[in-house]
Amino acid sequence: MSEQITFTPTRPYLARAIYEWICDNQLTPYLLVDATQPHTDVPLQFVKDGQIVLNLAPHAVHQLHMSNDAITFSARFGGVAKEIYVPIRAVLGIYARENGQGLFFDPSEYEDMEETAAPETEQTKQEAEPTKKKPSLRILD
């Protein structure tokens, strides 16, 4: 009887390493994201063909956190602050804007893995609550 060993995906580790390499070389890190993946929270007005490119330069983002599960940060889009949540499975690549060097990932790497739930945000709390009927006004004759 042979046991199947499951390994953690390499994507989050490689993404962190490439990000550090890009920043160490004074280049601009860009993150290519599959915006169609569940729990991905990005500004939809900038999504094209289901994808979005996000600037991760230290001066462009606030509170960047790259964990094994997700990349989170806040940034301004059109002058409006937005909290960004990108599950690692939605990361398609990370590369330098100036020369295109970086790493692009196989989109099917996470197909066989179970999806983990995203942390509860204000938006997901509102979605979970039953929708209440809005008050309306009727004129009676």
Specify the CATH number for the domain of residue 22.
2.30.30.220
**112: in domain:** no
**Is there a domain that residue 80 lies in?**
yes
Cα–Cα distance measured from residue 60 to residue 75, given in angstroms and rounded to the nearest whole number? 7
Is residue 54 included in any domain, yes or no?
A: yes
Phi, psi of 18 (to 5 degrees): -65, -40
φ, ψ of residue 13 in degrees (nearest 5)? -70, -45
The pLDDT value recorded for residue 136 is: 53
Identify the pLDDT of residue 124: 47
Domain that holds residue 38: 8-94
Asked, for residue 90, whether it belongs to a domain, the answer is yes
pLDDT of the chain, 141 residues: tens digit per residue: 567 777 888 999 999 999 999 999 999 999 999 999 999 999 999 999 999 999 999 999 999 999 999 999 999 998 999 999 999 999 999 999 999 999 999 878 787 666 544 555 545 444 444 545 555 555 665
Burial status of residue 32 (CB atoms within 10 A of its CB: 0-12, 13-18, 19 or more): middle
Considering the domain boundaries, does residue 126 fall inside one?
Answer: no
Q: Which long-range contacts (CB under 8 A, 24 or more apart) does 71-79 make?
A: 71/15, 71/31, 77/43, 77/45, 77/46
Domains held by the chain: number: 1
pLDDT for 126: 47
The answer as to whether 85 is a domain residue is yes
